[in-house]
Amino acid sequence: MEAKSMLPFGTRTFVMGIINLTPDSFSGDGLMKSSAMAEAAVQQAIRFTEQGADILDLGAESTRPGAETLDASSELERLLPALERIVALKLNTIISIDTYKASVAEACLQAGAGMINDIWGLKHDPQLAGVAARHAVPVVLMHNRSHAKFLQKSETLGGRYVGTTYQDLMNDICSDLQESITIAKTAAIQDQNIILDPGIGFGKTVEQNLSIIHHLGELRRLGYPILLGASRKSFIGYTLDLPVEDRLEGTAAVVALGINNGADIIRVHDVQAMVRVARMCDAILRN
């Protein structure tokens, strides 16, 4: 299949709005609390599009530290009703599916999704790279060294990783991501469909997350667009000693510095506010 056109990276910062079809999202915005989950997702998709989102990222399995995994059948039961209704709206956005399972990705791409966001960088399900290649869609390869033994939880601030070590943080992340790139290219995923994510919060301490933001530009050596997903995450909460509902300003600071340091896409919960941050940054940096 011929590769589909991707976003014109380098022209501006693109915004990915998070739509959580989960009961236990760390950010507290899961739509499973609603008896009309699909309708709630549709309304959120419309609102995010009106607020300036370029991509809508639908996820049905919580990726918060310590969350329970979901089987593919249950994941699709949550995803497909909302996805099909959002696709039918013909919004001017790309619809991304936040999954690491090949069967889920296949069903959602057939239903009209146009992008895959894999938190395990194609290393969890060996079939996923082939699915992305056959459909010729963009795929986000995220860095992830999460391990339960390093997880520490706080009732008010959420989960964080402690004691995780790297020989050289940014070099190690680049090396791990290069492995994901090799998997992608071996499966015939084209270069223009590869996006990299440093995996903020996934197997990194608070200090390591802060360092990644500061040194984000080092990922440029790999030659691919960068997605930054730091919205409302616990490293912001632990830095500011604030619960998830009070992390807007912290998120805005991270987004602004991330854009300055090379992020091409920002993945966020608060679309309207972060679109404004991104546009202001672009006005300064791309003048």
Residue 232's φ and ψ, nearest 5 degrees, are 60, 10
Strands 227-228 and 94-98: unpaired
Rounded to whole angstroms, the Cα distance separating 151 from 160 reads 6
Query: How distant, in Å, are the alpha carbons of 20, 119, 139, 151, 175 from that of 168?
Result: 33, 21, 26, 21, 10
Name the strand (E) or helix (H) holding 128: helix 128-135
CA 162 to mean position of chain CA atoms: 22
Distance (Å, rounded) from C-alpha 262 to C-alpha 251? 16
Distance CA 175, CA 40 (A): 40
In angstroms, the CA 237 to CA 246 distance is 8
Phi and psi dihedrals of 228, rounded to 5? -115, 120
Question: Which residues are identified as catalytic?
Answer: 233, 267
Identify the CA nearest to 94 among candidates 263, 216, 223, 265: 265
Helix (H) or strand (E) holding 14: strand 14-20
Other C-beta atoms within 10 Å of 240: how many? Answer: 14
Give the closest residue to 96 by CA, choosing from 19, 191, 175. Answer: 19
- CB-CB neighbours of 148 under 10 Å: 8
